[in-house]
Amino acid sequence: MADVAIPRAKPQMSEASAWTQLKHNRNWLGFWFMVPAMAFLIFFLAYPLGLGIWLSFTDTRIGRVGHFVATENYEWLWDDSIFWLSVFNTLLYTFVASALKFAIGLYLALLLNENMPFKAMLRAMVLIPFIVPTVLSALAFWWIFDSQFSIISWSLKHLGLINQNINFLGDTTWARICVIFANIWRGVPFVAITLLAGLQTVSPSLYEAATLDGATRWQNFRYITYPLLTPIIAVVMTFSVLFTFTDFQLIWAMTRGGPVNATHLMATLSYQRAIIAGQLGEGAAISSAMIPFLLAAIMVSWFGLQRRKWQQGESND
């Protein structure tokens, strides 16, 4: 019996060992661990992105399956002055708001990094604009900038500085200033708190050493704080630029792109064309047109984020 059983068992064993090998293969196991995350990313990121790009090459409308029209949507946009105005608005909005957010955020971070009374409370207070839902703060600004009931107009009138209400959201220049102001108000806390976190990683003994070396406060900032903060500045400004460039809520709640499209950003124009007007293909094309700009912003930060020489490994050679 033993003679018979042994040759039979052999092929079974080698089969089992192939399966066991697979079972013990770390890459195979790792693949299965990655599946949930991959599925999540594919369904919620890759698929919508791909669909959006695909739609931009079709003439899909709401209620009608579209046909492939190649680059017709883009050719249309190329000759569309409103589209170009929205590109200009978006760039203006992004550059002005991001630059001011950086300046104010850095200033606040440096201020909050000082020793002062009620430090913890002040730090918490700085975060408030960030916590308030965007739509809520947009509504508040809408009120503040209302043509009739604006508290700013009211105050200035009572101070005798103006005779008439300022038409904040009705005048093209004022409207642009107002939405940029609201965006800065919302965005500063993120920049300030992140930079503050960065500032706190700088060892105080470096400042002491620099002070003994003869550095003034400005030189402390110029030669110690700023260079050590650059990696974090790169990260925070990338995020800030991306968020600002793709901003939608604030504009839609405050101006809906008006007056005369003066505050239409690419995101709001895309929404208006795709959802309100039903031209899904054209709207998708406007959205897709944002991709090169965003990629450019990411590339800039990619190179900014590259580990600097002084951050590189500990090897002695």
Partner 1 sequence: MSSVQIRDVRKSFGNFEVLHGVTIPIEDGQFVVLVGPSGCGKSTLLRMLAGLENITSGTISIGDRVVNNVQPKERDIAMVFQNYALYPHMTVADNMGFSLKLRNAGSDEINKRVKRAAEILALSPLLDRYPRQLSGGQRQRVAMGRAIVRDPQVFLFDEPLSNLDAKLRVAMRTEIKELHQRLKTTTVYVTHDQIEAMTMADKIVVMHDGIVEQMGTPLELYDKPENQFVAGFIGSPAMNFLKGHVRVNGVATFEGPNGVKLPLKTAPAASDGRPAVYGVRPEHFTIADDGAEAEIIVVEPTGSETQVFAKLGGEQVVAVFRERHQFNPGDKVRLKPDPSLVHLFDDATGKRMNA
Q: Does 114 bind partner 1 (CB under 8 A)?
A: no
Closest CB to partner 1 among residues 25, 230? 230
Closest CB to partner 1 among residues 104, 215? 215
Tell me if 188 sits within 8 A of 194, measured CB to CB: no
Q: What's 213's DSSP letter?
A: T
Measured distance CA(36)–CA(26) in Å, rounded? 17
Per CB under 8 A, the list member of 77, 182, 224, 262 interacting with partner 1 is: 224
Residues in the chain: 317
Closest CB to partner 1 among residues 17, 219? 219
Closest CB to partner 1 among residues 76, 207? 207
Per CB under 8 A, the list member of 203, 217, 275, 294 interacting with partner 1 is: 203
The minimum distance between CB 250 and partner 1, in angstroms, equals 37
Name beta bridge partners: 297: none
Closest CB to partner 1 among residues 3, 317? 317
Q: Does 212 bind partner 1 (CB under 8 A)?
A: yes
What is the torsion angle, in degrees rounded to the nearest 10, for the CA atoms of residue 87, residue 77, residue 271 and residue 92?
A: 0
- Span near partner 1 by CB under 8 A; candidates 44-52, 128-136, 204-212, 249-257: 204-212
Q: At what angle do helices 134-144 and 172-200 cross, to 10 degrees?
A: 130
List binders of partner 1 among 284-313 (CB under 8 A). 308-313
Sign of CA dihedral 99, 102, 108, 114: negative
Q: Does 211 bind partner 1 (CB under 8 A)?
A: yes
Q: Does 173 bind partner 1 (CB under 8 A)?
A: no
CA distances from 183 to 82, 130, 179, 244 (A): 22, 11, 6, 8
Q: Which of 168, 189, 67 is nearest to 125 (CA)?
A: 189
Measured distance CA(278)–CA(272) in Å, rounded? 8
The minimum distance between CB 218 and partner 1, in angstroms, equals 11
- Span near partner 1 by CB under 8 A; candidates 20-28, 124-132, 169-177, 223-231: 223-231
Give contact residues for partner 1 (rule: CB under 8 A).
203, 205-206, 208-215, 219, 223-224, 227-228, 308-316
